[in-house]
Structure 1
Amino acid sequence: MNKKVTFGARPKPLSVVDPVAADAFVSGGAETQPAPPPQAQEPAEKVKLKRLTIDIEPALHKRLKARAAEEDTSIADVARRLLQEWAHR
């Protein structure tokens, strides 16, 4: 038995997503008014970032990921903060 499956065109990604509206939609409040756009601020000086890669044990990664999720942050943000504190001691 041979089945032919056809797919339509790939949907185009949205260029701008309002995180407040997205959270409201997910929590069931899609009918609420979207938040006004943030006020324009002076652009900060762009700094080219450097990538740092480290190897850690899977158990530590699991604990870091869980703790970062509890605190609504990312492992990268935690690492940046701790490295900044350590470097400026």
Structure 2
Amino acid sequence: MTRRPAPVLAARPRDDAQRWVDGDGKGRTAPKAEAYSARLTIDVTPALRGRIKVAAFRQGVTVADLLRAMLEERFGAGPS
């Protein structure tokens, strides 16, 4: 069995958090994520997850769309 090399992870810069979030311009961000979106994973209780799903269903939207709208309302459009 051939071992795959370990993935190379970029170190988080200590001086510029925004550069770390956006990537450093050297191709270290995933092309798909750069062009479309970024994935965010959070842990919630099963009860909260259920309430979020019910709220999304009642509004006729997906959970992802509901949460995106909530985050956009709270944090607004950042610098492009």
TM-score when normalising by structure 2: 0.48
Q: Which is greater in Rg?
A: 1
TM-score when normalising by structure 1: 0.44
Whose RCO is larger (CA < 8 A, sep 6+)?
A: 1
